[in-house]
Amino acid sequence: MKSLLNYDSPFFQFLCRVADMVIVNVLFLVCCVPVVTAGASLAAMTRVSQEMALDIGSGVVRTFFRAFRANFKQATAAWLVILLICVSLFCDRLLIGAYLTGGPATVLRALTVVLALGSMAICCYLFPLMVRYENTLKQHTINAVILAVTKLPRTLVMTALGSIPFVLCWFSVVTFLKSLSFWIIIGCGVISCLHSLLMAPVLAQLEGRDKTDEAEEEPEDEE
């Protein structure tokens, strides 16, 4: 029993990670309330999740608000564009349902779904790049598109994870409402951490850390 409660034990470390995810989840949702700050809130949660995935950081709350302030301008601009795209796609769905039927309606509905998933796929890379590297929003977006295409299997997994709450809400509002407590308490934090774990090898490759770490682990030849 004492070994379980030891600070260095895997069980205790797991509890700490769960507590961190709960904290960042609550901070994320609270900071999303004004709506316009949702982008900065997402960037802040992404930064915390990155540090959790790399097992570094100086505290969840401190890291969250530091990243919130540092990325506010760029993340807000990105979020407003994303919000515009979401509203446009939603209006398109309403217009398609109101004026079209049959094959054309099916094709256009499928197109809106593809555009929505494509936008989410880009966002899966955009915010991790934004909080980690200094660059223009345009260049971050270009890099996010390139990564989304070149890392397609990883992109599909990340997009599927990020789509879970929206798919639940779309196909069964009752099921979504039953799981609402999960999303309010920890759900967003869990998905963000899973995204960061999936992104960790990509970031390591971009920064050359995978090769550097391997070189450091190899013993030098003795003369």
Asked if the structure places residue 186 within a domain, the reply is yes
Task: Give the count of domains, the chain.
Answer: 1
The separation between CA 175 and the C-alpha centre of its own chain, rounded to angstroms, equals 23
> Quick one: pLDDT at residue 210?
60
SS3 172: coil
Q: Is the pLDDT of residue 168 over 60?
A: yes
Asked if the structure places residue 216 within a domain, the reply is no
* pLDDT over 90, % of the chain: 68
Query: Taking all residues of the chain, what is their mean pLDDT, rounded to a whole number?
Result: 88
- Cα–Cα distances in angstroms (integers) from residue 61 to residues 31, 94, 182, in the given order: 12, 40, 21
Q: Is the pLDDT of residue 191 over 90?
A: yes
Measured between alpha carbons, how far is 38 from 59 in angstroms, rounded to an integer?
21
Asked if the structure places residue 74 within a domain, the reply is yes
Asked if the structure places residue 217 within a domain, the reply is no
Residue 149 identity: V
Q: What is the pLDDT of residues 27-65, one digit of tens each?
A: 999 999 999 999 999 999 999 999 988 877 678 999 999
Q: Which of 187, 194, 192, 202 is nearest to 67 (CA)?
A: 192
Q: Which of 78, 186, 183 is nearest to 124 (CA)?
A: 78
Q: Who wins on pLDDT, 159 or 11? A: 159
Q: What is the pLDDT of residues 60-105, one digit of tens each?
A: 999 999 999 999 999 999 999 999 999 999 898 889 888 888 888 8
SS3 34: coil
Range of the domain at 29: 2-210
Measured between alpha carbons, how far is 75 from 78 in angstroms, rounded to an integer?
5
Number of Cβ atoms within 10 Å of the Cβ of 42: 26
